[in-house]
Copies of this chain bind each other. A is one copy, B any other.
Amino acid sequence: MARSSDPTRTRILAAASRLFYAEGIRTVSVDAVAEKAGITKKTLYYHFRSKDDLVAAYLAARDQPNLELFKRWFDDSEGALPDKIAAIFRQLARAARHPKWRGCGFLRTTAELANLPGHPAIRIGAAHKKKFEAWLQTTFEAAGIAASGELARQMLLLLDGAFAVVLLHRDASYMETAGEAARALTTAALARRAKSAAPRRPPAAR
């Protein structure tokens, strides 16, 4: 069985990742992936059972790196919580101006495979977004925000809305508008905390 560190497997995955993200799932043939990886199709089928498998692996490989990138953007930014949230959107706006940017691979794959609800790739995409939402909620909880769950969901909605709209209009400024909305909602949530519970340590996580 091929280990995940297998160099051939890694090469295939790198080729698949670039092609699927750039062109979409259904337009990219297995032959095209094999050629880009510099191997034959049969070798690809030695490492992956089917195209669906390969698609799932493509998204699975993006899961952790993506989450870590967002956390890094958050951690490395200056200012109070609303500013650090807005920083994520600002960085994303920067990325979206790159000509090769094509939105969120998870969302685009979901949209393309919407007729196959149980598809493994969709499950992986859903899990990815859930992880991101959970991280946001934990962050808001630590800041003493009562409705941390609702706020986390709202951030997620703004983020994914921005992915979709920026892709549609090819106008990255929507990403910054989303960031401003995220900042405003976070500020308002913090203000509610300050009112209902005097400035204190974050409540013990439970």
Q: Which residues of A contact B (CB under 8 A)?
A: 22-24, 26-27, 102-103, 106-108, 110-115, 117, 122, 125-126, 129-130, 150, 153-154, 156-165, 167-170, 174, 177-178, 180-181, 184-185, 188
Q: How far is the CB of A92 from chain B (nearest CB, A)?
A: 13
Tell me the nearest residue of chain B to A117, going by C-beta. B170
* A177: contacting residue among B108, B157, B174, CB under 8 A: B157
* A114: contacting residue among B102, B154, B160, B180, CB under 8 A: B102
* A188: contacting residue among B161, B164, B170, B188, CB under 8 A: B188
Task: State A161–B159 Cα separation when bound (angstroms).
Answer: 7
Which residues of B are found within 8 Å of A113, using beta-carbon distances?
Answer: 24
* A165: contacting residue among B157, B165, B167, CB under 8 A: B157
Task: State A160–B174 Cα separation when bound (angstroms).
Answer: 12
Binding site of A, secondary structure by majority: helix, strand, loop or mixed? helix
Task: State A16–B181 Cα separation when bound (angstroms).
Answer: 37
* A184: contacting residue among B24, B160, B174, B185, CB under 8 A: B185
A-B contact pairs, 23 of them (CB 8 A): A22-B115, A24-B115, A102-B115, A106-B168, A110-B168, A111-B164, A129-B168, A130-B169, A154-B177, A154-B181, A156-B165, A157-B158, A157-B165, A158-B158, A158-B181, A160-B160, A160-B168, A161-B161, A164-B164, A181-B181, A184-B185, A184-B188, A185-B185
Which residues of B are found within 8 Å of A154, using beta-carbon distances?
Answer: 158, 177-178, 180-181
Judge whether B169 and A126 touch: CB under 8 Å: yes
Judge whether B161 and A156 touch: CB under 8 Å: yes
Judge whether B112 and A24 touch: CB under 8 Å: yes
Which residues of B are found within 8 Å of A165, using beta-carbon distances?
Answer: 129, 156-157, 160
Tell me the nearest residue of chain B to A24, going by C-beta. B115
Question: Nearest 8 A-B pairs (CB), nearest first?
Answer: A161-B161, A157-B161, A111-B111, A154-B181, A108-B111, A160-B161, A26-B26, A23-B115
